[in-house]
Structure 1
Amino acid sequence: MTDQNNYDYDVLYIGAGHGTFDGAIPLAQSGAKVGVIEADMIGGTCPNYGCNAKITLDTPVALTRAAERLQGVVEGKLSINWTNNEAHKDEVISPLPTVIGGLLEQSGIDVIHGTGSFKDRHTVVVDGQEKTADNIVIATGLRPHRLDIPGSELAHDSRDFMSLKQLPQRIAIVGSGYISMEFATMANASGAQVTVLMHGDQALREFNQSYVEQVISDLDRRGVTFIRSAGVSAFEQAGDHLRVQYGDNQNLDVDWILDATGRIPNVEHLGLDAIGVRYTEHGVEVNDRLQTSVDNIYASGDVIDKSQPKLTPTAIVESTYLFHRFSDHDDSPLTYPVIPSVVFTSPRIAKAGVSVDEAQQRGYKITTNHLPDGWYRQVDKETIGDNALIFDADHHLVGATEISDQAPDAINTLLPAIEFKFGASELSRLVYLFPTISADAMTQL
């Protein structure tokens, strides 16, 4: 399928995460000649040291929370063995690069291990070897941001946390986004003394703040210390422990520090400036067809500068879109579906579509429910649970957000109604298994 220019590939991807393999595999199966360059682990962040690894480590936390609520019905107190939990995570996760790499190779894709940088708009140099392609996709993702303060080398990142064989007793977490709140939940449930040093006054700013404060309050009750607007200024070695300097000459002594101050795009060392690909501190600039400022070079996944959430589902949508664009020569712009998101604290907070803040600005109707009042949530004695359902003027469900232990499944149930703007007649045709969270979620509409 390569054209008369005799390029090595029809499409060459830089990076082997979800921004690549969800579309590259069917593209190769359609007859295109495809290459994938990867400098680290096949599969990228999500399978190896992101979503998949995180949920494996978190599952015992959810189990202990359920057992805690049902004490008296369930006898005995459960506890988490961190070392065994980490070993179980490795057992589940470690095969994934080989599995994903096998799928790529079985589809006829050349997997090229090494670091790639552009020589020109059709050529990428990988460890001294030139690879050419008609179209090239930048899918290099994000990496952890590191604080630029004295002693920053003493801190660790999320990948380090998920590789800990022994859990430190005292942990400082700097930041208050997804990684901070989820890892604080895991570490606290596993017996560590956790302090979260927040940059500002709010955690998880993209989520409904009344729900976020419920999570903070519950973690505080469980022993997690939150320091708002901490103003972290330095880390230092202090004997056999570490010291965090913050605020007005205040100190916190800990055994381990997690820098969870965000993630930044991998755009350096690609040679983008030399070939004229525009990018910002937020990532590579693209148009509504995922083309960069150089029209045969595209971007996919978290490396893009975009308003859509930088999540695995978004990367899958983009990678799949590029598959159709390259295989079907479809020039239609990408129209994003509703992208849901969830933070895996205990309880979870999940959302999709129009937010509560947006609904208030637009004058939409907001229906709220206190979920423990419903009979279904009483089955496992859920005590924290609320949702907000957003309806437009025609009573179409256009958004939903929920805090509960089953929030991800509840939002997934409501997602088709939000995406396809179901009205009363369509909703009445949906019959879910009973009793399930799906059936319970639909009764609230």
Structure 2
Amino acid sequence: MTESNFQYDVLYLGSGHGAFNGAIPLAQKGFKLGIIEAGKIGGTCPNRGCNAKISLDIPVKIKDAVDAMQGRGLEGTTKINWKANVQHEKDVIASLPNAIETNLKSVGIDIIHGYGKLTDAHTIEVDGHKYTADKIVIATGAHYNKLDIPGIDLAHDGTEFLELEDQPKRMTVIGGGYIAMEFATVAATSGTEVTILLHHDKALRRFYQPFVEELLNDLTAKGVKIIKNVTPQSIEKNADGYVVKTDQGEIASDWILDATGRIPNVDGIGLDKVGVEYDNRKGIKVNDHLQTSVDSIYASGDVLDKKVGKLTPTAIFEGLYLTKLFSGVTSDAIDYPAVPSAVFTSPRIAEIGVTPDEAKANPDKYDIKEVNLADDWFRFALRQNEGHTITIFDKKGYLVGMTEISSEADTAVGSILPFIELKVSPEKMDDFITLFPTIESETKHHL
């Protein structure tokens, strides 16, 4: 479709979900596209994030289910083989980069391997070669933060955890976000002695705190030691492994995970040179069309400074929005739907839409319904009936939010997405027939 002097209609810097999910349908519309990638095709999620994480978690979830049914139809619990689990995870993700690259090439997208830097509003340089495009999309993602204390090089990040073939006897986790809680769950369920260091008195601060406290209590019951309001000061190696020195004492460890967050990849890609505005911690600033301060340059995915969650589904949504924008399907501003999020611990916490805290702060706007899942017969049959569901309705009875803690919270929240996004009336909800018996049918019953 290119009729100018540019080599490409659109050039993507980065190959993650913020790029390839939108690039494929755009290429199918006849646009000439290129994707520049310095690492593995597919970015974080397929190679060292979501796909790998959930692969490690599947045996954890199965073990929890088997343990719950002991004496209730099953005899003989099971044990996670750490080395085999990590190998299983590697097997699952090994083919993904080539599969994604094959799909991209099949629709005529050029893959340019190497580290790209912007040199002007229409040009990216890779290993001395310059590539030009009418429009550029920055989709460089994010990387792990590194705590600024002496000895931090002795610690490891989430990518290294996913590749850890030898199970540590003692593991210290610094941080209280998704990665900290999820990887602590995997390690503790596998038999590792886990200590979690929280800088404040809360973990998972974006989630409903009473549910988070339930999760922390469950981790404690599994043998995890949780230390709140603690400040790591240094890490040292000794004859027995490592020691994390804090303002509350010393923690002996064999392996240390620095899970103190992720930072957008904005350094070293030429943003200053071409005048793209950004914040080192929050990311690239864009308008409501995902356009940066340079008209020809856009951004999507985790590199964005945005209010919605930095999640794979929002990156995909942004990439597909840009496809519609560039192809003339829409000229409207991006309009995010209700975005679900979940932490894949045991139990899980998942949420979408209006939160319990927001609803409680606005009783004139919302009604709240809470269900104790101990009363759910299907969960009881699964012996997974610990947990709670909170649903939020507006004053007309429309479902506008849900938060749940349970072993099936992700499935439950996912099942009510259409009711919220399509603004299904209370009367119309009764017209939906679900499969029975399933988590979905019980979730709908509780609305």
Query: TM tier, shorter chain?
Result: over 0.9
Residue 440 (str. 1) matches residue 442 (str. 2) = yes
Could you tell me how far apart the structure 1 residues matched to 2:431 and 2:251 are?
57
Q: CA RMSD in A?
A: 0.9
Residue 70 (str. 1) matches residue 65 (str. 2) = no
The one-letter code sitting in structure 2 at the alignment partner of 1:404 is S
Q: How does 1:99-248 map to 2 (within 5 A)?
A: 99-248=99-248
- Which of residues 429, 432, 439 in structure 2 aligns to 1:430? 432
Deviation at 1:329, TM superposition (A): 5.5
What residue is the counterpart of 1:301 in the other structure?
301
The one-letter code sitting in structure 1 at the alignment partner of 2:177 is G
Q: How does 1:22-37 map to 2 (within 5 A)?
A: 22-37=21-36
What residue is the counterpart of 1:253 in the other structure?
252
1:4-37 CA-to-partner distances (Å, cap 9, x unmatched) read 2x11100000000000011001111110000000
Alignment TM-score, normalising by the size of structure 1 = 0.98
Contact 2:375/2:385 (<8 A) preserved: no
Residue 61 (str. 1) matches residue 51 (str. 2) = no
Residue 95 (str. 1) matches residue 87 (str. 2) = no
Deviation at 1:361, TM superposition (A): 1.7
What residue is the counterpart of 1:20 in the other structure?
19
Could you tell me how far apart the structure 2 residues matched to 1:240 and 1:348 are?
35
What residue is the counterpart of 2:377 in the other structure?
375
Could you tell me how far apart the structure 2 residues matched to 1:283 and 1:362 are?
32
Deviation at 1:239, TM superposition (A): 2.1
Matched positions, count: 443
For structure 2, the 5+ residue unaligned runs are none
**Identity over the aligned pairs, expressed in percent?**
50
Alignment TM-score, normalising by the size of structure 2 = 0.98
The one-letter code sitting in structure 1 at the alignment partner of 2:259 is A
What residue is the counterpart of 2:282 in the other structure?
282
Q: How does 1:313-352 map to 2 (within 5 A)?
A: 313-328=313-328, 330-352=330-352
Q: Secondary structure at the match of 1:328?
A: coil
Deviation at 1:167, TM superposition (A): 1.0
The one-letter code sitting in structure 2 at the alignment partner of 1:419 is E
Contact 2:176/2:198 (<8 A) preserved: yes
Could you tell me how far apart the structure 2 residues matched to 1:345 and 1:123 are?
43
Deviation at 1:443, TM superposition (A): 0.6
Could you tell me how far apart the structure 1 residues matched to 2:268 and 2:152 are?
22
Deviation at 1:440, TM superposition (A): 0.6
Q: Secondary structure at the match of 1:390?
A: strand
Q: Secondary structure at the match of 2:79?
A: coil
Could you tell me how far apart the structure 2 residues matched to 1:50 and 1:3 are?
39
What residue is the counterpart of 1:11 in the other structure?
10
Deviation at 1:3, TM superposition (A): 2.9
Deviation at 1:107, TM superposition (A): 1.0
What residue is the counterpart of 1:81 in the other structure?
81
Could you tell me how far apart the structure 2 residues matched to 1:206 and 1:417 are?
23
What residue is the counterpart of 1:416 in the other structure?
418
Deviation at 1:221, TM superposition (A): 0.8
The one-letter code sitting in structure 2 at the alignment partner of 1:421 is K
Could you tell me how far apart the structure 2 residues matched to 1:116 and 1:240 are?
43
The one-letter code sitting in structure 2 at the alignment partner of 1:142 is A
Deviation at 1:127, TM superposition (A): 1.3
